[in-house]
């Protein structure tokens, strides 16, 4: 009897070997996971290299500061001619913080370059208003109460509105009413 237990049976030899189908599925799975990991890495690299709105606003503010410094050195003020375009007043909710709901009442005058056409402003008024409201909705009260926050809001509005315009561009944004409640 001891000899019978020690001898393997003829049917057991195939089950102790490796299953080729399982090996193929494992290799295909490993290759697919590698491809997915590579594609995700490539996507993250692309997103990392894109400029954010904060970078654009910071660069615009830096250029404006350099221009002001240059004007101060020469003692000459540079006049910017353009077309003023007043927008209807805005009342928009600010982003919800920990406290009570707050909103911003804002009246804006946009100064467009001379090469701009007033007809384009009027035709894009809905897009401009939507952009302003969307940007205001993304701001917290603490973001817009400080002077730096108001200046950043101006630059962000200017950059966003300029993406819609074909003929001209926004030179400056003026607040004629600014109230946070």
Residue 170 maps to which CATH number?
3.30.479.30
At 106 the three-state DSSP class reads strand
The residue with greater pLDDT, 12 or 56, is 56
Determine, yes or no, domain membership for 48: no
pTM to 2 decimal places: 0.56
- Structural domain tally of the chain? 1
d(CA 127, CA 45): 32
Domain extent, residue 137, equals 83-180
Determine, yes or no, domain membership for 173: yes
Determine, yes or no, domain membership for 75: no
Determine, yes or no, domain membership for 123: yes
Determine, yes or no, domain membership for 42: no
The residue with greater pLDDT, 91 or 115, is 91
User: What tens digit of pLDDT does each residue of 12-25 get?
Assistant: 555 556 789 999 99
Determine, yes or no, domain membership for 106: yes
Determine, yes or no, domain membership for 164: yes
Q: Which residues contact 109 (CB under 8 A, 6 or more apart)?
A: 84, 85, 86, 87, 173, 174, 176
Determine, yes or no, domain membership for 27: no
The encoded tokens of residue 33 equal: 């996971």
């Amino acid at each position: 009897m001891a000899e019978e237990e020690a001898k393997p049976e003829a049917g057991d030899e195939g089950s102790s070997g490796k299953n080729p189908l399982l090996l193929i599925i494992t290799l295909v799975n490993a290759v697919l996971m590698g491809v997915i990991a590579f594609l995700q890495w490539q996507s993250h690299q692309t997103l990392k290299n894109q400029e954010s709105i904060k970078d654009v606003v910071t660069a615009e503010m830096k250029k404006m500061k350099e221009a002001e410094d240059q004007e101060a050195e020469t003692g000459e003020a540079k006049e910017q001619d353009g077309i003023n375009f007043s927008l209807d007043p805005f009342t928009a909710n600010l982003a919800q913080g920990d406290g009570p709901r707050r909103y911003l009442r804002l009246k804006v005058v946009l100064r467009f370059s001379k090469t701009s056409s007033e007809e384009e402003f009027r035709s894009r008024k809905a897009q401009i208003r939507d952009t302003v409201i969307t940007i205001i909705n993304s701001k917290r009260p603490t973001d817009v109460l400080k002077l730096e926050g108001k200046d950043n809001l101006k630059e962000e509005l200017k950059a966003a509105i300029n993406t819609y315009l074909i003929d001209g561009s926004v030179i400056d944004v003026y607040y004629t009413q600014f109230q946070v409640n």
